[in-house]
Amino acid sequence: MTAPLSAAPLAAAERLRIRSGANSGQTAGLAPGHVQANLAILPADWAGDFLRFCQANPRPCPLLAVSEVGDPRLPTLGHDIDIRTDVPRYRVYREGVLMEGPTDILDLWRDDFVAFLIGCSFSFEEALLADGLPVRHIAMNRNVPMYETNIPCVAAGRFGGTMVVSMRPMVPRDAIRAIQITSRFPSVHGAPVHFGDPAAIGIRDIADPEHGEAVPIEPGEVPVFWACGVTPQVAIRNARPPIAITHSPGAMLITDLLNTHLSVL
């Protein structure tokens, strides 16, 4: 990201609380206005393929930053970030299988690890709310519903698979406005990839999301679907690297970047 990075005491304070163990849960609503990010950590010999996978699939995998090999700092996202401690809860995958859920990865860190930070829909949801658009799962205090689809990702080396999408129900007038707003935020998934008929993108049952929690779709509303940052976790499960570490869904890295600075317009 080329957005200017300035002191962000709110974000830094939340990271310190997380680092100290005082928050091992969700980050939704913390440090309002600041970009939160999805995390994927891979060994260097898998990082090239994964970087190409993200580059080829910018809607689900918009890269905000990539660390130096073995370096847990992310200076373009925050002055003092240590990716080994600053996420509330991690997921450790071995051979593509989720094995552990630690609150830090100090003991697991290796000098060949590369950290990938990927944009998160929290950023555009803040823009939707600021425009007066209702966001159902936030109003209901639920995690956003997420669905496996049949939309193919572009494969890159050992990484490939299908796209995961998040869903927000809206009346068409609001959906049109939401398309305009989210189009300004390509680094946090951008415009929707679909609206309307769930079966058209291979969704099995709109009432039973594979990730997150279901929300009701009221009469006159249509489901609107955005590419989702859970997609890289599916690609990691498919690729089965010896080790990979991600954040736990909803427990994101809080950065010093401002959401408004991600807007391209």
* Residue 165 parent element (H or E): strand 162-170
Stretch that binds a copy of itself, among 17-25, 28-36, 154-162, 187-195 (CB under 8 A): 187-195
Q: Is 218 in the site for a copy of itself (CB under 8 A)?
A: no
Q: How far is the CB of 183 from a copy of itself (least distance, A)?
A: 5
Q: Is 195 in the site for a copy of itself (CB under 8 A)?
A: yes
Q: Is 165 in the site for a copy of itself (CB under 8 A)?
A: no
- How many residues contact a copy of itself, by CB under 8 A? 18
Q: How far is the CB of 173 from a copy of itself (least distance, A)?
A: 6
Considering only 7, 139, 140, 176, the residue that binds a copy of itself (CB under 8 A) is 176
Stretch that binds a copy of itself, among 23-31, 66-74, 130-138, 176-184 (CB under 8 A): 176-184
Considering only 101, 196, 202, 242, the residue that binds a copy of itself (CB under 8 A) is 196
* Residue 167 parent element (H or E): strand 162-170
The letter for the amino acid at 157 is G
Q: How far is the CB of 220 from a copy of itself (least distance, A)?
A: 6
> What is the Cα 148 distance to its own chain's centre?
15
Q: Is 220 in the site for a copy of itself (CB under 8 A)?
A: yes
Q: Is 173 in the site for a copy of itself (CB under 8 A)?
A: yes
Stretch that binds a copy of itself, among 61-69, 142-150, 169-177, 232-240 (CB under 8 A): 169-177
Three-class DSSP category at 250? coil
Q: Contacts with a copy of itself in 75-134 (CB under 8 A)?
A: none
Q: How far is the CB of 180 from a copy of itself (least distance, A)?
A: 5
Three-class DSSP category at 70? coil
β-pairing, 244-247 with 162-170?
Answer: unpaired
DSSP character at residue 22: S
Residue 93 forms beta bridges with which residues?
Answer: 98, 244
Stretch that binds a copy of itself, among 33-41, 92-100, 173-181, 243-251 (CB under 8 A): 173-181
Distance CA 127, CA 260 (A): 8
- Listed residue (67, 170, 176) closest to 111, CA to CA: 67
DSSP character at residue 138: H
User: At 263, phi and psi to the nearest 5?
Assistant: -65, 130
DSSP line for 199-223: GGGT-S-TTS-SBS------TT-EE
Contact residues: a copy of itself, CB under 8 A: 172-173, 175-176, 179-180, 183, 191-197, 200, 220, 222, 265
